[in-house]
Structure 1
Amino acid sequence: MREPVELRRQRILSVVQSRGAVKVSVLAAELDVSVVTIRRDVEELTRVGRLRRGHGVARPVVDAPEPTTVPAARTEEPAGDGAAVALVVPERHSYLYETLHGARTVLEESGMRIALHIAPQSAGAERPLVERALADGARGLLIAPRWRNARSEELDYGWLAEVGVPTVLMERRPRPGSALHALDSVCSDHWYGTHLAVDHLVSLGHRRIVLAARDDSPTARTIRTAFAEIAAARPEVEDWSIVLSSPAAVPGPGPQTPGAPAEAAPDPDGDATAVDLAALLRERGATAAVLHGDVDALMLVQRLAEGGVQVPRDCSVVAYDDVVAALGSTPLTAVAPPKAEIGRAAAELLLYRLAGTAGATGPVRRTELLPTLKIRGSAQSIPTPED
């Protein structure tokens, strides 16, 4: 489903307001649309007074401190003299770009030069970028692999465990007992974030709740698992179910190794196509939904309205990610993982490892930061009979 123009423009506003001046080419890469389209959007937002336009740059109406902007996809800064730290994140991933900015701030303040590598969506894209960074003399590595499915994650374990320089995973928690179990990592406690969403809805009187979530990232899979565990354990929850938030939000075929069986395609009768949320809510008698991630959440709210379900009158909604949740026509209550703080903590841990022998040989650190709940206007109490 094509992204509505207004939603795309809201995303542009969110990026510019959070970073300050942003190149039009960067916006185009992050939003996966043409530069011509972004330029047209910026011109219209400038015309109505919501942005200012410069030479190939979109600026907020109110000046902010000079930002550090994300280069366009697949752009790297040279590592030259070997004094750089390599930063590797997936392309077109607004959530992790906020994490990237947090890391970049710490590294730049320390005087550390950064070699930024943005991995395309193809399977196994991170490995050649890391190898290139190491060949250029990178001293350390901060990385958030895409890991769309368990198979792609497992195939990264071997080479990533043998990188040979201090490495910190950002927003990724390897499988227990794997080759990366003892690798430094900093991530959000998504179990706790899911708990915040369910607990908030239960406190408002909701007893039948649906999770519509992606299934193409480690975060998405953690949220799905946590929701099932939490909802099943809460005696107040009478009925719960999990569906995909978008038909495109599936893990997809993973990279294959010789002799490995191909991954099964999504079951056409399973949750891969169960995105008619309005019909599902009616079928289950559900009065509330948790939606992951933000863009899918805003689009699902629009779909609900088209199906005659109004938020929050007929269905209370809590979004997960809080990247653009506040920008909907109905601002969405949202779980907000500490995205920038994850990047800062990961960079600080890497600098500690690079500082000397004690840091390099100290115990492995697996740090979790707790999300928060941003209450807005998309969730309300169930009316009582006397109401």
Structure 2
Amino acid sequence: MLAQERHELILRSLRRHGRLRVADLVAELGVSAITVRRDLAELDTAGLLRRVHGGAIGTRTAELPARGSQLTIGIVVPSAAPYYSDVIRGAEAMADRYGARLVLGVSGYDSATERERIDKVLGIGIAGLLISTALGDGAADRLGSRLDELDVPVVLMERAFGFPHVAREYDHVRTDHAYGAMLALRHFVALGHRRIAVNLQATVTAYWLRLGLETAAKALGVEVFLSPVDLPMRGDDPGAVAQLDAFLAECESFGSRAVLVHSDEHGARLVERAMELGLRVPEDLSVIAYNDVTAALAVVPLTAVCPPRLALGETACDLLLRKIQTPTTPVQHLSLLPTLNIRTSCGAADPHLR
């Protein structure tokens, strides 16, 4: 087959699919990968397509893809619960601005399921992948070479994997949760609290919150007690009342009237139980929640640290799409700062902390 014939077939396939993979073209054209890459390089030089890692995409000077066909990117997250649903919505909004399509996979915090979801979206022919893995940063080595095997650009969300766990550096966008913990402690100090009790879920976020609490406590000169009690998510959980009472007893023993709780559900239930026991919120117990998904809907609206969930999805998707368009873009490690939304559960508002 002559080079010009191959070029015509490549461009026809590009119009049909919106993106090309070298492996697919090798099978379709019956030539070597070296030949395909040379053809793509020539077409890129001519401005008829744009080469990307593992294949090629269209450019503004190339013919438009066939009707109903558009650039497709994948997004794999550990949960579709409210936190990640906002991240997904942000990514979807940004993809729409680029005229791209988003395909979702949910792993349920299971590594095997995650691999299946990645393979599924790759099979669709995605041009790039947004992923928040089921594993935290400390367990990156359990991913093995899976990320390195992907032949499309990858942007990590709320995760940061690098050498020696993976062979190459990856773009990532994450929330600075350590800063979020500092915001909470700083507000408590502004309200006069010097002893602060903390209860954290056993999540990936907990590591960064503990780091931020340790740093902020030293800087602010306050005492922090990190409770080992597992708080219930719902009031009907077995042992819920006993767990809540145990934590409140710890707070009393520590001499703390200020509590940071991760997450909103725990904070809301804690406030309800405290009031059942005759405590006044915020006069007897001042509460800050972390996540701010449902904090405003609590019986006593909760002051809460709010990670920039929508902005995180938007930023990560924008970074990925720019990487697809220009593969030579330098790798970026971006941190987004959370904010503190002050409500009734703390009893005072400091305009400087908004």
- Give the aligned residue type for 1:380: G
- SS of 2:112's equivalent in the other structure is coil
- What is the aligned partner in structure 2 of residue 340 from structure 1? 310
Deviations 1:208-237 (A, max 9, x none): 001111122x222211222123213422x1
Pick aligned residue for 2:209 from 204, 223, 228: 223
Paired residues of 2:174 and 2:334 also in contact (CA < 8 A): yes
The one-letter amino acid of 1:85's match is I
Distance 1:362 1:339, change over 3 A: same
1:129 aligns with 2:96: no
2:48 matched residue in structure 1: none
| Cα shift at 1:141 | 0.3
Shift in alpha-carbon separation, 1:329–1:129, aligned structure 2, 3 A: same
Tell me whether 1:243 sits opposite 2:227 in the alignment: yes
In structure 2, C-alpha distance between the alignment counterparts of 1:287 and 1:331, rounded to whole Å = 17
Cα distance, 1:107 vs. partner? 0.3
Unaligned runs of 5+ in 1: 1-79, 250-272, 382-387
The answer to whether the aligner puts 1:310 opposite 2:280 as a matched pair is: yes
Q: Does 1:165 align with 2:132?
A: no
Moved more, 174-183 or 113-122: 174-183
Partner of 1:144: 132
Q: CA separation in 2, counterparts of 1:275 and 1:349?
A: 46
* Corresponding position of 2:327: 360
Residue from 171, 190, 193 that aligns with 1:206:
193
Distance (whole Å) between structure 1 residues aligned to residue 168 and residue 346 of structure 2: 38
1: CA distance, partners of 2:83 / 2:317: 17
Deviation at 1:155, TM superposition (A): 1.2
Instruction: Call closer, same or farther: CA 1:373–1:119 in 2, change over 3 Å.
Output: same
Change beyond 3 A, Cα 1:131–1:326 = same
**1:210/1:175 CA distance change after superposition, 3 Å:** farther
Q: CA deviation at 1:181?
A: 7.3
Q: Which amino acid aligns with 2:210?
A: R
Q: Deviations over 1:222-274 (max 9, x none)?
A: 11222123213422x1x21112573579xxxxxxxxxxxxxxxxxxxxxxx79
| Percent pairwise identity | 35
**Conservation of the 8 A alpha-carbon contact between 2:261 and 2:290:** yes
What does the per-residue CA deviation read over 1:311-366, in whole Å, with 9 as the maximum and x for residues that have no partner? 211111111111000111111111111110000000100110111xxx31222101
Separation of aligned partners in 2, 1:210 and 1:109: 44
Q: Deviations over 1:30-76 (max 9, x none)?
A: xxxxxxxxxxxxxxxxxxxxxxxxxxxxxxxxxxxxxxxxxxxxxxx
1:276/1:146 Cα in 2 relative to 1: closer, same or farther (>3 Å)?
farther
The range that moved more, 305-314 or 200-209, is 305-314
RMSD (Å) for aligned C-alpha atoms: 2.4
Give the C-alpha shift of residue 373 in structure 1.
0.8
Between Structure 1 and Structure 2, whose CA radius of gyration is higher? 2
Aligned to 1:47: none
Structure with greater helix share of residues: 2
Structure 2, unaligned runs of 5 or more = 1-67, 234-242, 349-354
Amino acid of the structure 2 residue aligned with 1:289: V
Distance (whole Å) between structure 1 residues aligned to residue 81 and residue 168 of structure 2: 25
The answer on 1:374 being equivalent to 2:341 is: yes
Q: The residue matched to 1:378 in structure 2 has which SS?
A: helix
2:277 is aligned with 1:328: no
- Number of equivalences: 272
Q: Which moved more, 1:187-196 or 1:118-127?
A: 118-127
1:1-387 equivalence runs, <5 A: 83-147=71-135, 150-151=138-139, 153-156=140-143, 158-174=145-161, 177-179=164-166, 182-216=169-203, 218-235=204-221, 237=222, 239-244=223-228, 246-247=230-231, 276-355=246-325, 359-380=326-347
Cα distance change on mapping 1:304 and 1:336 into 2, 3 Å: same
Counterpart for residue 266 of structure 1: none
2:149 match: secondary structure: coil
Kept in 1, the 8 Å contact 2:136–2:159? The answer is: no
**TM-score normalised by length of structure 2:** 0.71
Q: Which amino acid aligns with 1:279?
A: A
3-state SS of paired residue (2:346): coil
